[in-house]
Amino acid sequence: MSFSVPSDLSSGLFFLGGKRTTINATATFDVLEPRIGAVVAKCPIADEQAVNEAVQEASEAQLEWGNLTPLQRGKIMKKAADIMRDNLEEIARWEVKTNGKPIYEARVDIESSADTFDFFGGVAPAVLQGWFEQVMQWTRGKLNHFCAVVYRW
């Protein structure tokens, strides 16, 4: 899977069916670059049909996602974190352009988001219990030790 940050936003602000796209809409709103007040794109306003299609696609994707093992889901989430980090500067520039925040804050937000994907990508396989047909093992959650963390704020 590859990811690319668009050079402009006119090719579509929606991500549906696994790809960036646009929708047919009669109404739009301006996406502004707050720093200078310039319009960087016109975003179509989704109507009820577009929303229903997106919800249907999401429902179908959820069924596919639910059929994956926790380990498979974790690997996908970790890959998402890698993609975010690999494209951090490009994503940060667009975040600054369309949000107006300082670049250092955008970088921190993106890195933090990637950390979240990494964390939950590791948690699912570690905490889910039971038999998995794809992996011949049994896991049982049981507290054997405890850990205390003292952190200076």
3-state SS, 18-78, equals: CEEECCCCCCEEEEEECCCCEEEEEEECCCHHHHHHHHHHHHHHHHHHHCCCHHHHHHHHH
CB crowding 141-152: b at 16 or more within 10 Å, else e: eeeeeeeeeeee
Cα-based angle 84, 110, 66 (whole degrees, multiple of 5): 55
pTM above 0.95, yes or no: no
Average pLDDT over residues 121-146: 59
pLDDT at 27 over 80: yes
- Over residues 112-127, the mean pLDDT reads 88
Asked whether residue 50 carries a pLDDT value surpassing 80, the answer given is yes
pLDDT at res. 77: 92
Q: What is the mean pLDDT of the chain?
A: 78
